[in-house]
Structure 1
Amino acid sequence: MERRRPPQIALLKQKSPLSVGAQLAIRFLLLLALLAVIILVHWIERDAFVDNVDGEMSFADVIYFTMISATTTGYGDIVPVTERARLFDALVVTPARIFFILILAGTAYSFVIKRSWDKWIMRRLQRTLEDHIVVAGFGTSGSEAVHELVARGEDPRKIVVIDQNTESLAKAERMGCIIMQADATRDETLEAVRIRQAATMIISAGRDDTSILICLTARHLCPDLPISLAVRAEDNEFPARAAGATTVINPVSFAGLLLAGSAHGAGISDYLADLASATGRVRLHERVIENFEVGKSLAEVAVGLGVRILRDGKPIGFWQDGAKKLEAGDRIIEIIPGHAFPPCPPA
Structure 2
Amino acid sequence: MIHLPAVPRGPLRAISSRLGLAVALIVVIVFVIYIDRNGYRDVNNDGLSLLDCFYYAVVTLSTTGYGDITPVSESARLINIVVITPARVLFLIILVGTTLEVLTDQYRTNLRLQGWRKRVKNHVIVCGYGTKGRAAVSTLLENGFDKSHVVVVESDRTALRQATSDGLVAVEGSATRSGVLMEARVQEAKAVIIATDSDDASVLVTLTVRQLTAGKVSIIAAAREAENAPLLRQSGAHHVIVSSATAGRLLGLSTTAPPLIEVVEDLLTPGQGMALAMRSARRDEVGSSPRELNELVIALFRRGKVLSLADPEGTNIQTGDMIVYVRDDRPESIPAMP
AA aligned opposite 2:194: I
Query: 1:136, 1:204 within 8 Å by CA — same for their partners in 2?
Result: yes
Inter-CA distance 342–174: structure 2 relative to 1 (3 Å threshold): farther
Post-superposition CA distance 1:175-217 (Å, at most 9, x none): 1111110222222322222223323221111111111211122
- Within the candidate set 301, 323, 332, 2:323 is matched to 332
AA aligned opposite 2:282: E
Q: Secondary structure, in 3 states, of the residue corresponding to 2:245?
A: helix
Query: 1:131, 1:198 within 8 Å by CA — same for their partners in 2?
Result: yes
AA aligned opposite 1:172: A
Check if 1:258 corresponds to 2:250. Answer: yes
Check if 1:243 corresponds to 2:269. Answer: no
CA distance in 1, matches of 2:336, 2:169: 20
Check if 1:159 corresponds to 2:150. Answer: yes
Identity of aligned residues (%): 27
CA distance in 2, matches of 1:201, 1:240: 13
Where do 5+ consecutive residues of structure 1 fail to align? 1-107
Partner residue, 1:217 = 208
Give the CA RMSD over aligned residues.
2.8
Partner residue, 1:233 = 225
Measure how far apart 1:263 and its partner are. 1.5
Query: 1:148, 1:277 within 8 Å by CA — same for their partners in 2?
Result: no
Partner residue, 1:267 = 259
Inter-CA distance 344–323: structure 2 relative to 1 (3 Å threshold): farther
* Bigger shift: residues 326-335 or 113-122: 113-122
Partner residue, 1:143 = 134
Partner residue, 1:24 = none
CA distance in 2, matches of 1:220, 1:292: 42
* Bigger shift: residues 171-180 or 215-224: 215-224
- Within the candidate set 288, 291, 297, 2:289 is matched to 297
Alignment of 1:1-347 (within 5 A): 118-222=109-213, 223-301=215-293, 303-339=294-330, 342=334
**Equivalent pairs, count:** 239
Post-superposition CA distance 1:98-143 (Å, at most 9, x none): xxxxxxxxxx998x87766544432211111123221011112112
CA distance in 2, matches of 1:293, 1:232: 40
* Bigger shift: residues 142-151 or 315-324: 142-151
Inter-CA distance 229–178: structure 2 relative to 1 (3 Å threshold): same
CA distance in 2, matches of 1:123, 1:262: 50
Where do 5+ consecutive residues of structure 2 fail to align? 1-99
CA distance in 2, matches of 1:342, 1:230: 31
TM-score by length of 2: 0.64
Query: 1:273, 1:280 within 8 Å by CA — same for their partners in 2?
Result: no
Measure how far apart 1:172 and its partner are. 0.7
Inter-CA distance 344–152: structure 2 relative to 1 (3 Å threshold): farther
Inter-CA distance 226–291: structure 2 relative to 1 (3 Å threshold): farther
Inter-CA distance 203–174: structure 2 relative to 1 (3 Å threshold): same
Q: Return the index of the structure with the highest Cα Rg.
A: 1
CA distance in 1, matches of 2:311, 2:139: 32
TM-score by length of 1: 0.62
CA distance in 2, matches of 1:245, 1:325: 31
Inter-CA distance 235–343: structure 2 relative to 1 (3 Å threshold): farther
Post-superposition CA distance 1:56-86 (Å, at most 9, x none): xxxxxxxxxxxxxxxxxxxxxxxxxxxxxxx
Measure how far apart 1:154 and its partner are. 3.0
